[in-house]
Structure 1
């Protein structure tokens, strides 16, 4: 919504028809499609319709918690969170050439271990290194690659800790700004990294966490 509000022509994808339908219910001027980032053929087919792209935001991600302690669950999370980002970056590289920007979504768990979600933390740590590596590799094509590292944001993924009074209080006590972040708190940083204002920034990992990492 923020990119559309800034005048961009926005195309967004969801993993399932249900996700796309839920997004369309907001009524924003965005073109939605179903796309499974685990399917390279599908990703390449989707990207082939674009000849020039200003920005790519890789935000497909899952957290399976207990299921991540199984090999299948671990592989699923890494395939979506990490390899999915690489598939998209690779498929859109040509269209992004000469001034495009990629923003990957990492996490504060790229810096911490996560006893409850080992695959999530591992994949997000790898997204940070992927971001730095592609920033170097794609610089010759005129493509900047950066990442956001969100902290505790009000999403469906954080419903459980928000609903637990003790855990909620623990997290807010450590967060200097004293509140949960919102999805809207991520849009400004994402727009900045995709804009000419960040024209000399690449390979950066920008925490958006209310100060949680430094507390």
Structure 2
């Protein structure tokens, strides 16, 4: 990540408060680390005590505060939001996928709740703080906002919904100086995709569809998040930035 961080001014987010949901592992944790390394005061939320403890114990994360909040629980979200004094950036990074099981109603609704509804809940819970700071919201969409995967209908629907939510909130919150954008990851090596990138056949097929002929890493999302939250992007809102190595526009 050092080459990415070195691209930015080292004190870019000094004095800024950043909240990252889904921040105990994977992409969310990498983004939290990026903000912290540029001077931000970062709180990373997760639901797994095991992951939270492991992240908190890592010397790389000493500048990050980890908290457990169930993103499916509106009361827990609002209670946590009331503990915050100020906020400059909200990164909605919580997400799950349940391949094949998403055709069942309960699983479908759970995936929608975590991936889409939680992003709206957090945005509304911290809205007064973001109004005060004229802050930034970064939502997490997906390449599956654009292409289909027959095994994860709820995941695809939720991530498509994130794009709509991002555009609508950009206009709803814009008069208060709040910018709202989305990032759409592609195939990145995370725990969620481990079954694919550890299997040589699908791993190579996916890499070859990418214009860059490789899988993404979690670090590949960090620079995008930092840019969109920075003054360099001060007239960008309601946008989605795919970070997929050209996968969506490729073809097998």
TM-score bracket, normalised by the shorter chain, equals: over 0.9
The aligned residue for residue 37 of structure 1 is 71
Structure 1 unaligned runs (5+)? none
1:123 aligns with 2:155: no
SS in 1 for 2:126: helix
1:99-141 residue CA offsets vs partner (Å, 9 max, x unmatched): 2000001000000121011100000000111001100101011
The aligned residue for residue 94 of structure 1 is 128
Contact 1:16 1:35 survives alignment (8 Å): no
The aligned residue for residue 68 of structure 1 is 102
1:4 aligns with 2:47: no
Structural mapping, 1:110-189, within 5 Å: 110-189=145-224
Give the one of 46, 66, 88 matched to 1:14: 46
Contact 2:147 2:248 survives alignment (8 Å): no
2: CA distance, partners of 1:89 / 1:44: 10
What do you get for the CA RMSD once the two structures are aligned? 0.9
Using the TM superposition, give the Cα deviation of residue 51 of structure 1 relative to its aligned residue in structure 2, in angstroms. Answer: 2.9
1:171-199 residue CA offsets vs partner (Å, 9 max, x unmatched): 11110101111111101100111111110
Structure 2 unaligned runs (5+)? 1-32
SS in 2 for 1:200: coil
SS in 2 for 1:56: strand
TM-score relative to the length of structure 2? 0.84
2: CA distance, partners of 1:185 / 1:170: 20
Give the one of 216, 233, 249 matched to 1:198: 233
The aligned residue for residue 47 of structure 1 is 81
TM-score relative to the length of structure 1? 0.98
Give the one of 110, 113, 117 matched to 1:79: 113
Using the TM superposition, give the Cα deviation of residue 50 of structure 1 relative to its aligned residue in structure 2, in angstroms. Answer: 1.7
Q: Aligned pair count?
A: 215
1:139-185 residue CA offsets vs partner (Å, 9 max, x unmatched): 01111000000000010011111122211111111101011111111
